[in-house]
Amino acid sequence: MTATGLTRRPQLSEDVATHLRGQIMSGVLAAGSFVRLEETAAELGVSATPVREALVTLRGEGLVEQVPNRGYRVGGLCREDIEDIFWLQGTIASKLARRAARIITPAQIEQLSALNALLRDSVSRADVEAVEACEFEFHRFINKVAGGKKLAWFLFGAIRYTPARLYASDPAWGEESVRSHDALIAAFTWGDIESVGELMRRQFVDGAERLVAFRSM
């Protein structure tokens, strides 16, 4: 999904919500600012309806509040909120990774290596969309190996609050992501379950620290 010209689909409001959620989490839309319906629709190349539906969704999540006769205002987001969100993500992802480490096969480890090679190439080409997609696929593969459908469902809900495009646009983050994946793959190869869990957890700690730093700029 790009910032403009969102693809028209029945779930278009979900795409708009994802875009706005990312802007709120990254601080591009600052606390107290108003999300202008028509301006947002024009920016994204959509009608006002999916924007309105997206704002209703975000209101339910506590990210915006409706102000009578004025529209939707962005709510506050403190450092503790960000740390809590990433703690939840890291806790679930670490448990799934540990579970995967107990059953992963050499062939699956090779597939993980291939996915990280694609990420490395995307980072070297500064292909932001490809970096975002490769990062997602790498973690999705681990979750599929783990087989914890319910946990993966909760994790998917939590990662909605990760401004993935912000990270994918940062070359330093991309290089660090490739390195951390290499270490994770090595731990999978050795069958080191504790290291797998800790390495996965650290990725989310790093994500929280980077987001806090970006919002402070």
Reply yes or no on whether the pLDDT at 61 is more than 50.
yes
Reply yes or no on whether the pLDDT at 111 is more than 90.
yes
Task: Please report whether residue 3 resides in a domain.
Answer: no
201 by Cβ neighbours in 10 Å (0-12 / 13-18 / 19+) ranks as: buried
Q: What average pLDDT does the segment 11-17 reach?
A: 92
Total of domains in the chain: 2
Neighbouring C-alpha atoms within 13 Å toward the C-beta of 96: 25
User: Which CATH number belongs to the domain containing residue 67 in this structure?
Assistant: 1.10.10.10
Classified as helix, coil or strand, 16 is helix
Q: What is the pLDDT of residues 162-198, one digit of tens each?
A: 999 999 999 999 999 999 999 999 999 999 999 999 9
Reply yes or no on whether the pLDDT at 1 is more than 50.
no
What is the rounded distance in angstroms from the CA atom of residue 133 to the CA atom of residue 73?
31
Are residues 130 and 84 located together in one domain of the fold? yes
Of 23, 42, 74, the residue that ends a domain is: 74
Domain extent, residue 142, equals 79-216
Are residues 84 and 64 located together in one domain of the fold? no
Task: Please report whether residue 118 resides in a domain.
Answer: yes
Are residues 134 and 56 located together in one domain of the fold? no
Are residues 35 and 93 located together in one domain of the fold? no
Task: Please report whether residue 1 resides in a domain.
Answer: no
Has this prediction a pTM greater than 0.85?
yes
Angle between helices 171-190 and 106-124 (to 10 degrees): 170
Are residues 135 and 115 located together in one domain of the fold? yes
What is the rounded distance in angstroms from the CA atom of residue 116 to the CA atom of residue 160?
22
Are residues 142 and 210 located together in one domain of the fold? yes
pLDDT at 57: 96
Whole-number Cα distances in Å, 183 to 60, 106, 164, 178, 210: 39, 16, 21, 9, 20
Specify whether the backbone of 186 is left (phi greater than 0), alpha (psi in -120 to 50) or beta: alpha
Task: Please report whether residue 114 resides in a domain.
Answer: yes
User: Which CATH number belongs to the domain containing residue 127 in this structure?
Assistant: 1.20.120.530
pLDDT at 217: 72
Of 24, 57, 74, the residue that ends a domain is: 74
pLDDT at 11: 83
Task: Please report whether residue 192 resides in a domain.
Answer: yes
Task: Please report whether residue 179 resides in a domain.
Answer: yes
Neighbouring C-alpha atoms within 13 Å toward the C-beta of 7: 5
Are residues 91 and 175 located together in one domain of the fold? yes
Helices (H) and strands (E) in the chain, counts: 10, 3
Task: Please report whether residue 7 resides in a domain.
Answer: no
Are residues 16 and 123 located together in one domain of the fold? no
What is the rounded distance in angstroms from the CA atom of residue 208 to the CA atom of residue 82?
6
Strand-pair partners of 71: 67
pLDDT at 148: 85
Are residues 86 and 177 located together in one domain of the fold? yes
Are residues 88 and 177 located together in one domain of the fold? yes
| Residue entry with tokens 């597939």 | 111
Q: Give residue 8's pLDDT band: very low, low, confident or very high (50, 70, 90).
A: very low
Are residues 212 and 114 located together in one domain of the fold? yes
Are residues 35 and 108 located together in one domain of the fold? no
Of 52, 74, 96, the residue that ends a domain is: 74
